[in-house]
């Protein structure tokens, strides 16, 4: 091998970035391609959506993370296809040759064919979606403050989260804390703590991936936060003013101006392109079916890892789309390539499940460590510790810790900016309407 | 006076917010209207544009700042006009009655009639403009990294800042630091420190509002940072690929993909609407000419303050559009209203000039304290201290201090996200182009 092998890695998420870092020092020529210039710490994205952290706090520029790893070039680019015969990755504006291809393009929100729901119920996969959700949550209270009609005001103060997996539970809990604590004294016409937060789930219990006893504990914690969950219901329609769902008692409509989507993800469309190019299969969610060594069948030099890969554990259960799986797969592929360079055989990938955590709110979380189930303050501390530990980069870790500390003590949220397209707060209002004298109550000099 | 007087304040910037806070405890019914839900610490906006701080770090939610001041209601809304006869402020979606009106709507970027320049050379007045500028700066290096053509690459690495006032000087200095320090080891094809930064100014020297000796010192500091300034030139054309300027030697074109606008501001268009409604005059920049007590002529109950007001000092020179002027005017109007409530006469507004500061970069700034002129490290420390002191809210102050500390020690910038519309990095590239083997240099196992 005279020339170092060319490795192209697509995606700088947990799988791709972990893989690149584990390839440190190897005689390879690595190109890491990502649409974005930063790694995003997705498990904390809901904290951007709820105004606790700034986008910069949970992002690390890929170039900065990899600046001293000389065998890597970071490229910002959009992959549009694969040329299997010529071993090339096709970009929107160029091509990349590879000897080894590692695809870790991740997942996106999935609306099960109802594309028009996206505009009414944004999902939570990107920084832009997070700031959009933040805008909708905080703007809803602004609308309510200025809405004279009682029913309309209630619809502005009603928040529906579709999907009670970890993300949905986190979002619902965070909205409750915003309403009850953060905004408590901020308004003069409305009482933010009267906001209704509804969590809708198709399965018979919240946090379906967790054991039933932890679902129960989570449900209880949610009730304590004032979140009402409806399980066993199926959303059949979403528009600008609410949601229709199928319940055991029949069809039911909920009037709500803020609907958030946490009901499902599917693989990045690159999965299907890759499958077509290399003759692989995909599952219903668009994930690529891979060999036990994470290569595509009959393609020794093409790996798929992270949320884009369909991999099963020893019991035949598909691995979940979570960061630990992605990181272990990234490290495994690096070990595999190292073994190849050394001319030895690499074993198959085996996921070591160290447990699952879901946070519900202040001092409340559930943790599933196999036989040990933990909830409440202890689980919440574990969640805090693990997430701080993994936030990329020392600087971010300290910033995040500091902001959490402030928020814990003051209940305030520092990053609750309404940004993006600025629209009239009440576009539906009649222009002749006057809020004259409808302002603050009689002022007292004693404020 | 049975009913408390209704005060409507338009704008939650330095003038409006300072005024509201100074009205604390008075028997008034105050409504503060702003298009945004946050106060923006504009003097640090260039640090968002250059990736040092996150938008949340320099913003404070207006509701949060004013939550305990019970005589104020904060309203998010867009003012569209004034009904002088009925004493009403017209919003896009309602109306507000007032007894006293205080207008502090601020300023915006001014392109002197060349509206089409805005898309090619964004100004720096809003959070969205700051993140757009950030995107352009950091994306330019990404483009350059993947650009095979030498001349094109140079155009991506050339940054033009139009206007060498404090904002232009700060931006130029920050871009230089990005190129020389922050990105130093981040690229494999380009050398970021080869970026050219050009600062164009129509006046014969940089920092025209400062005394000539400080302009000289600033010019020298800029040269030390590798910023080339061209004074006495007039920009006559801007497009997607560069700038044309009139110089004493004739017309000259600069090929540059990143052009930033810091050449001028004008009053918010509300100034003209207000002038029409109340029969006032405006100056060339759209600022409202006001009485020495900051009221509109013949309108005892209508005040204009901040960047929207045209006020002259004792020597007849118009006051600059800076935060200290705005804050002093806000406090003055509050004192004036208090005097009215007490039935005593209020004097006229007098600006107390405590000095001016402009920062150029790491350890470099100039300060004009009247007879005392300071530059270098001491001026920079003064700048640091004063800006930390005034960043609204204890939490933000600590966050900003922490991030500055990290950046000072590590040269890294934590908030350099490219967000917003994600476009191909090289939309102009030919699709058949291949960067194969053009990637990283030969890898060494010694990274």
Question: In this predicted model, what pLDDT tens digit does every residue of B85-136 receive, in sequence order?
Answer: 999 999 998 999 999 999 999 999 999 989 999 999 999 999 999 999 999 9
The ipTM is 0.84
Give Cα separations from A167 to A49, A161, A163, A264, A357 (angstroms). Answer: 11, 10, 8, 10, 11
Mean pLDDT across the stretch A320-345? 96
State the Cα torsion B245-B249-B252-B258 to the nearest 10°.
Answer: -60
CB contact under 8 A, B71 and A447: yes
**Closest by CA position to A33, among listed A2, A63, A64:** A63
Radius of gyration (C-alpha) of chain A in whole angstroms: 24
Helix (H) or strand (E) holding A304: strand A299-304
Predicted pLDDT of residue B3: 74
Dihedral sign of CA atoms A285, A287, A289, A293 in order = negative
Residue A161 pLDDT more than 60? Answer: yes
Mean pLDDT across the stretch A239-255? 95
Residue A442 pLDDT more than 90? Answer: no
Radius of gyration (C-alpha) of chain B in whole angstroms: 24
Q: Is the distance from CB of B74 to CB of B92 less than 8 angstroms? A: no
User: Which residue of B68, B188, B406 is in closest CB contact with A73?
Assistant: B188
- Band of pLDDT at residue B421, cut at 50, 70 and 90: low
Structure tokens at A375: 């909830």
User: How far apart (Å, rounded) are the C-alpha atoms in residues B193 and A404?
Assistant: 37
User: How far apart (Å, rounded) are the C-alpha atoms in residues A122 and A132?
Assistant: 8
pLDDT tens digits for range B386-398: 888 888 776 778 7
A111-115, A414-418, B363-367: segment of lowest average pLDDT: A414-418
Give residues 183 to 212 of A whose Cβ lies within 8 Å of B.
Answer: 183, 185-189
**Closest by CA position to B198, among listed B237, B225, B166:** B225
User: Which residue of B29, B436, B447 is in closest CB contact with A439?
Assistant: B29
Give Cα separations from A50 to A63, A124, A177, B39, B40 (angstroms). Answer: 28, 11, 9, 19, 20
- A437 contact B CB<8A: yes
pLDDT tens digits for range A266-311: 999 999 999 999 999 999 999 999 999 999 999 999 999 999 999 9
- Helix ranges restricted to H, B52-188: 62-65, 117-120, 127-145, 150-156, 166-177
CB contact under 8 A, B417 and A6: no
Structure tokens at B325: 């002027």
State the Cα torsion A107-A111-A117-A118 to the nearest 10°.
Answer: 0
- Minimal-distance CA residue of chain A relative to B402: A399
Q: Is the distance from CB of A39 to CB of A55 less than 8 angstroms? A: no
- Band of pLDDT at residue A420, cut at 50, 70 and 90: confident
Q: Kindly report the nearest CA distance between residue A80 and chain B, in angstroms.
A: 11
- B114 contact A CB<8A: no
Long-range contact list for B299-302, CB < 8 A, 24+ apart?
B299/B84, B301/B87, B301/B98, B301/B99, B301/B100, B301/B101, B302/B100, B302/B101, B302/B102, B302/B103, B302/B274, B302/B278
Annotated active-site residue in A170, A177, A196, A201: A170
- Minimal-distance CA residue of chain A relative to B39: A417
Annotated active-site residue in B139, B145, B170, B177: B170
Mean pLDDT across the stretch A418-446? 43
CB contact under 8 A, B139 and A76: yes
**Closest by CA position to B327, among listed B71, B106, B35, B16:** B16
Residue B406 pLDDT more than 80? Answer: no
DSSP state string for B19-62: HHHHTTTSSEEEEEEESSSEEE-GGGHHHHHTTSS-GGGGEEEH
Predicted pLDDT of residue A390: 84
Neighbours of B231 (CB within 10 A): 17
* B437 vs A contacts (CB less than 8 Å): 6, 97
CB contact under 8 A, B77 and A189: no
Q: Is the distance from CB of B321 to CB of B107 less than 8 angstroms? A: yes
Angle at A101 between CA A96 and CA A104, to 5 degrees: 105
Residue B71 pLDDT more than 50? Answer: yes
Mean pLDDT across the stretch A149-166? 96
* A189 vs B contacts (CB less than 8 Å): 73
A170 is catalytic: yes
Mean pLDDT across the stretch B223-247? 96
Q: Kindly report the nearest CA distance between residue A66 and chain B, in angstroms.
A: 8
pLDDT tens digits for range B291-321: 999 999 999 999 999 999 999 998 899 999 9
- Band of pLDDT at residue B446, cut at 50, 70 and 90: very low
Give residues 367 to 426 of A whose Cβ lies within 8 Å of B.
Answer: 393, 395-396, 398-399, 402-403, 406, 410, 412, 414-420, 422, 424-426
CB contact under 8 A, A36 and B406: no
Predicted pLDDT of residue B2: 58
Q: What is the mean pLDDT of chain A?
A: 90
pLDDT tens digits for range A346-397: 899 999 999 999 999 888 999 999 899 999 999 999 998 888 888 877 677 8
Predicted pLDDT of residue A406: 76
User: Which residue of B57, B70, B418 is in closest CB contact with A37?
Assistant: B418
- B47 contact A CB<8A: no
DSSP-derived 3-state class of residue A89: strand
Predicted pLDDT of residue B1: 47
Residue A171 pLDDT more than 90? Answer: yes
pLDDT tens digits for range B26-59: 999 999 999 999 999 999 999 999 999 999 889 9
**Closest by CA position to B153, among listed B161, B164, B142:** B142
User: How far apart (Å, rounded) are the C-alpha atoms in residues B361 and B380?
Assistant: 8
Give residues 20 to 39 of B whose Cβ lies within 8 Å of A.
Answer: 24-31, 35-38
Structure tokens at A117: 């729901």
Per the listing, tokens 């020179």 go with B317
Predicted pLDDT of residue A328: 97
CB contact under 8 A, A77 and B6: no
Give Cα separations from B128 to A426, B40, B60 (angstroms). Answer: 22, 12, 16
Cβ-based contacts under 8 A for chains A and B: 280
* A431 vs B contacts (CB less than 8 Å): 93-94
- A67 contact B CB<8A: yes
DSSP state string for A65-81: HTTT-TTEEEEE--EEE
Predicted pLDDT of residue A421: 55
**Closest by CA position to A229, among listed A270, A258, A252, A197:** A197
Mean pLDDT across the stretch B237-261? 96
DSSP-derived 3-state class of residue A200: strand
Longest dimension (CA), chain A: 83
CB contact under 8 A, B433 and A95: yes
- A49 contact B CB<8A: no
CB contact under 8 A, A97 and B29: no
* A146 vs B contacts (CB less than 8 Å): 75-77, 93-94
- A68 contact B CB<8A: yes
Residue A417 pLDDT more than 90? Answer: no
Q: Is the distance from CB of A415 to CB of A52 less than 8 angstroms? A: yes
Long-range contact list for A233-240, CB < 8 A, 24+ apart?
A233/A200, A233/A201, A233/A202, A234/A202, A235/A162, A235/A200, A235/A263, A238/A114, A238/A117, A238/A120, A238/A121, A238/A162, A239/A120, A240/A120
Angle at B439 between CA B434 and CA B442, to 5 degrees: 140
Predicted pLDDT of residue B380: 92
């Amino acid at each position: 091998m005279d020339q170092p092998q060319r490795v192209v890695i697509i995606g700088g998420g947990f799988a791709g970035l972990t893989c690149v870092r584990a390839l440190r020092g190897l005689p390879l020529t690595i190109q890491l391609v990502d649409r974005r210039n930063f790694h995003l710490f997705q498990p904390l994205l809901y904290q951007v959506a709820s105004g606790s952290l700034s986008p910069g706090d949970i992002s690390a520029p890929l170039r900065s993370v990899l600046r001293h790893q000389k065998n890597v070039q970071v490229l910002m680019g959009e992959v549009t296809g694969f040329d299997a015969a010529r071993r090339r990755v096709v970009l929107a504006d160029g091509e990349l040759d590879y000897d080894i291809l590692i695809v870790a393009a991740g997942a996106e929100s999935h609306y099960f064919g109802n594309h028009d729901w996206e505009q009414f119920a944004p999902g939570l996969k990107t920084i832009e979606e997070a700031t959009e959700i933040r805008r909708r949550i905080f703007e809803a209270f602004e609308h309510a403050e200025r809405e004279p009609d009682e029913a309309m005001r209630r619809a502005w103060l009603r928040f529906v989260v579709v999907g009670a997996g970890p993300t949905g539970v986190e979002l619902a809990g965070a909205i409750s804390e915003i309403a009850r604590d953060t905004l408590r004294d901020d308004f003069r016409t409305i009482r933010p703590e009267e906001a209704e937060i509804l969590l809708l789930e198709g399965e018979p219990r919240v946090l379906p991936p967790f054991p039933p006893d932890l679902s129960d504990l989570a449900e209880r914690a949610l009730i304590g936060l004032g979140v009402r969950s409806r399980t066993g219901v199926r959303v059949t329609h979403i528009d600008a003013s609410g949601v229709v769902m199928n319940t055991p008692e029949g069809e039911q409509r909920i009037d709500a101006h803020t609907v958030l989507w946490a009901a499902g993800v599917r693989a990045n469309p690159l999965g299907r392109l890759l499958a077509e190019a290399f003759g692989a299969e995909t599952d219903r969610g668009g994930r690529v079916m891979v060999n036990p060594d994470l290569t595509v069948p009959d393609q020794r030099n093409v790996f798929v890892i992270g949320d884009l890969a369909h991999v099963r554990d020893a019991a035949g259960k598909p691995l979940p789309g979570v960061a630990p799986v992605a990181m272990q797969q990234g490290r495994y592929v690096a070990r595999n390539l190292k073994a190849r360079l050394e001319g030895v055989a690499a074993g198959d990938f085996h996921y070591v499940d160290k447990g699952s955590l879901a946070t519900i709110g202040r001092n409340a979380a559930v943790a599933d460590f196999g036989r040990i189930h933990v909830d409440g303050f202890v689980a919440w501390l574990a969640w805090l510790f693990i997430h701080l530990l993994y936030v990329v980069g020392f600087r971010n870790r300290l910033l995040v810790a500091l902001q959490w500390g402030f928020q814990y003590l003051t209940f305030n949220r520092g990053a609750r900016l309404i940004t993006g397209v600025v629209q009239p707060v009440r576009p539906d209002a009649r222009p002749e309407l006057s809020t004259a004298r409808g302002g603050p109550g009689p002022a007292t000099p004693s404020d």
